[in-house]
Amino acid sequence: IVTINVFLTDKDKAMIREIIEKIRKNKKITKFRQDLLKITNEELFELNSSLENKEECIEYICKKLTELNYTESSFIKEIYERENLSSTSYGSFAIPHSIHFSAKKTGIYILISNKGIAWNDNTAKIVFLMCFSSGERRIFNDIFGPIASILNDPASVDKLSQCRSYSEFISLLSSLFAE
């Protein structure tokens, strides 16, 4: 509720604009969080410091996604097809994904490695391996950009890589989106 004067002033207009922006921002945050919760879950979140390099990581996560019935076993070829176009590692994080929307179910496998995973010339602390079904193009468009933007900030990657649970990670990722 915004209380304004009988005669609308510039101060009233500013208050109205501020409240409208706050509502819009809260809607965006809520939508981002809902989309995250729709395509992630605890079985798609893992702390793992045993993986040494990009290949081990991609093979490991693709196998998990196939076992969890998110993808076919051929999905790994699509990940490498995209990876061969250009690296999906950006400093201390990697977002491997297919250029096809061929997954059985949409999901993001989130892996955090304390020691890091050698990924071409980088060391990834966080890996978001994304798989999208053909009916989920909207979520891909709505979620990929914000996640990449959040991870572009090294301080955000450091904070996220310290998370020790799925719920802690999602809460922090959502709050970083709000900033």
pLDDT tens per residue, range 38-80: 999 999 999 988 999 999 999 999 999 999 999 999 999 999 9
What pLDDT is attached to residue 86?
Answer: 92
Residue pointed to by tokens 């179910």: 105
Residue pointed to by tokens 């990929």: 144
Separation of alpha carbons 21 and 83, rounded Å? 39
What pLDDT is attached to residue 2?
Answer: 81
Query: Quick one: CA dihedral 67, 72, 77, 81, positive or negative?
Result: negative
pTM for this structure? 0.87
Identify the helix (H) or strand (E) that includes residue 37. helix 10-39
| Residue ranges, the chain, pLDDT below 50 | none
Q: Crossing angle of helices 154-161/137-151, nearest 10°?
A: 100
Alpha-carbon Rg for the chain, nearest whole angstrom, is 19
Burial class (CB in 10 A: 0-12, 13-18, 19+), 12: middle
What pLDDT is attached to residue 13?
Answer: 92
